[in-house]
């Protein structure tokens, strides 16, 4: 395997951000301090929801949101299979049963009609993922939730800042989760935030994140079994600084996406991503050639790409779900390829990716054996 010359993603950390983290390191509070409160307040204001709870990862956020909304053993939760595995795993952490629903081929988000088809008397919630930064059809999901008395958790981990009808992703559900892993639009290294308009849910999540302590002044008053899902002051300081320049970050990512679209527009056999409101990844679909062959060819040229997403129901950890009927998910997942996409990618790098991709598309290749 050749060395990676153009990575799939790369961090964008400014000197001011490094300074902000270092000054926390010089302060007396490294956890549960003022940066946590500031970061939570800033995220709540940004999303437009009254409460935010910062946690150690997006996955931890999904786990706490499910717990605090009372989802547990015997409950069914509807999730997409065309997404990151943490979405279904979090449902299993609380002892509930994930039920997969198919996606819409255009938006790659859950298809409301497919969701309705799998609702049973045990369904309690839907995790609606805003895939790759495109908000899902929230009106339809809120309507379904109302008719069937279901909770809605928005997984906005890929969609920070995406706005629909003047409301930002994360402002629609009973709770919404954001994530700050290094490949996301903004990063804290590891981290997440859950927002909710229900203050009791926020209070419970804040306690569960901190070993079940409802009153942080009393170190040994554990009302229920909790977790350590805290986000450190250093991470909160980094998140705050990144959030301060999110408009510039999202604009830069939109520019990179626009440039890719310009360069690849006339390419046959390639479906470009539709407009995103907050660009997480740049994912193309290869309509005529074998995706895995293209991926290895690009790897040989030093270009990293990603198979976003391998369907969850086809993972060994989900053997019991393997027969779920998800034809759109399976068809799309075999074709998708994420191209290098990060704030600091140069125009030369974008052009190099496009010319290598073009060459790979022209190579006569047989269809995939599977
Ligand atoms: C990134 C992401 C998460 C959370 O990931 P963590 O690594 O736990 O922060 C959850 N759901 C989706 C859809 C994601 O893309």
Note the pLDDT of residue 275: 81
Q: Are 156 and 180 in contact (CB under 8 A)?
A: no
Residue 301 has pLDDT above 70, yes or no: yes
pLDDT of residue 2: 80
Ligand 1 centroid, distance to 204 Cα (angstroms): 21
Residue with tokens 């598309």: 361
Q: How far apart are CA 38 and CA 43, in angstroms?
A: 9
* Average pLDDT, integer, range 99-119: 97
For range 100-124, the mean pLDDT: 98
Report the C-alpha gap between 131 and 112 in whole angstroms.
14
Q: Quick: pLDDT tens for 139-192.
A: 999 999 999 999 999 999 999 999 988 899 999 999 999 999 999 999 999 999
pLDDT at 363: 75
Residue nearest to atom 4 of ligand 1 (CA): 58
114 lines ligand 1 (CB under 6 A): no
Check whether 367 has a pLDDT greater than 70.
Answer: no
Question: What percentage of the chain has pLDDT greater than the value 90?
Answer: 92
Query: Does the C-beta of 160 come closer than 6 Å to ligand 1?
Result: no
pLDDT at 101: 98
pLDDT band at 217 (very low <50, low <70, confident <90, very high): low
pLDDT at 274: 86
DSSP code per residue over 224-249? S---B---BHHHHHHHHHHHHTHHHH
Over 60: is that where the pLDDT of 366 sits?
no
Higher-scoring residue by pLDDT: 220, 15: 15
pLDDT at residue 365, as a whole number = 53
- For residue 333, the CA-to-ligand 1 centroid distance in Å is 18
CB 39 within 8 A of CB 239: yes
Residues contacting 129, CB < 8 A, separation 6+: 79, 80, 83, 87, 109, 110, 136, 154, 155, 157, 158
Residue with tokens 């010359």: 5
- pLDDT beyond 90 at 368: no
What is the SS3 assignment for 116?
helix
State pTM to two decimals.
0.96
Indicate whether residue 157 lines ligand 1 (CB < 6 A): yes
CA–centroid distance, 1 to ligand 1, in Å, is 28
User: How would residue 276 be classed by pLDDT, with cut points 50, 70 and 90?
Assistant: confident
Q: Work out which ligand 1 atom sits closest to the CA atom of 190.
A: 9
Which is catalytic among the residues 35, 124, 151, 184? 184
Residue 329 has pLDDT above 70, yes or no: yes
C-alpha of residue 321 to centroid of ligand 1, in Å: 21
Q: Is 184 a catalytic residue?
A: yes
The pick from 54, 56, 59, 193 for probing ligand 1's pocket by mutation, whose C-beta has the most ligand atoms within 8 angstroms, reads 59
The pLDDT value recorded for residue 369 is: 53
pLDDT category at 299 given cuts 50, 70, 90 is very high
Distance of CA 362 to the CA centre of its chain: 33
Phi first, then psi, for residue 33 (nearest 5°) are: -125, -155
């Amino acid at each position: 395997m050749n060395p990676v010359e153009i990575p799939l993603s790369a961090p964008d950390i400014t000197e001011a951000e490094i300074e902000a983290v270092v000054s926390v390191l010089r302060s007396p509070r490294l956890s549960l301090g003022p940066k946590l409160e500031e970061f939570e307040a800033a995220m709540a204001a940004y999303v437009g929801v009254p409460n935010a709870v910062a946690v150690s990862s997006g996955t931890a956020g999904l786990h706490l949101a499910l717990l605090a909304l009372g989802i547990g053993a015997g409950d069914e939760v509807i999730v997409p299979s065309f997404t990151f595995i943490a979405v279904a795993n979090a449902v299993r952490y609380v002892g509930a049963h994930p039920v997969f629903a198919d996606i819409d081929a255009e938006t790659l988000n859950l298809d409301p009609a497919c969701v309705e088809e799998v609702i049973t008397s045990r369904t309690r919630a839907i995790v609606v993922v805003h895939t790759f930064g495109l908000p899902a059809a929230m009106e339809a999901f809120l309507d379904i939730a109302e008719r069937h008395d279901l909770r809605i958790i928005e997984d906005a981990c890929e969609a920070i800042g995406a706005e629909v009808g003047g409301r930002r992703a994360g402002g629609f559900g009973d709770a919404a989760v954001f994530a700050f892993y290094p490949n996301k639009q903004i990063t804290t290294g590891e981290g997440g935030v859950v927002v909710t308009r229900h203050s009791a849910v926020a209070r419970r999540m804040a306690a569960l994140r901190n070993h079940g302590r409802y009153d942080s002044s009393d170190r040994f008053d554990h009302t229920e079994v909790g977790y350590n899902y805290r986000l450190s002051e250093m991470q909160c300081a980094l998140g705050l600084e990144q959030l301060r320049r999110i408009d510039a970050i999202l604009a830069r990512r939109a520019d990179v996406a626009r440039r890719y679209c310009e360069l690849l527009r006339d390419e046959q056999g390639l479906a470009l991503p539709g407009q995103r409101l907050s660009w997480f990844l740049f994912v193309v679909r290869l309509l005529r050639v074998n995706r895995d062959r293209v991926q290895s060819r690009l790897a040989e040229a030093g270009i990293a790409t990603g198979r976003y997403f391998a369907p969850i129901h086809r993972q060994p950890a989900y053997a019991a779900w393997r027969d779920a009927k998800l034809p759109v998910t399976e068809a799309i997942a075999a074709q998708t390829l994420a191209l290098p996409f990060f704030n600091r990618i140069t125009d030369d790098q974008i052009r190099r990716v496009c010319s290598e991709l073009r060459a790979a598309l022209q190579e006569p290749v047989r269809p995939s054996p599977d």
